[in-house]
Structure 1
Amino acid sequence: MEATSTYLLANEGRVMPEGTAGLVILGIAVAALIAMIIYGRMSRNRGRRG
């Protein structure tokens, strides 16, 4: 998952498409990062409780 996010961010930095497309790609990357952080915290909490 982290490798994919890094790959997307790297491509976003190298190839600069139209402003809208760039924002969409950046938004998806940020959303994926936030989702990964939230999922990680949830799984950690489950592990502690269990």
Structure 2
Amino acid sequence: MEEGRQEGVKEGKLAAVPLLLKAGLSIEEIAQQLEVEIEAVRQIAQQQSIG
């Protein structure tokens, strides 16, 4: 159960990535501030640029 909760928290944080990118933060800054992996932020950034 704890693992599912952790995954939900991570998804919630990653949902903020597009807004933070628009605000001018770098991928590295976002990952550091949200305490998530840089690669996860990078994937979202790529999806945003495609979509």
TM-score, normalising length from structure 2? 0.38
TM-score, normalising length from structure 1? 0.38
Bigger CA radius of gyration: 1
- In terms of fraction of residues, the more helix-rich structure is 1
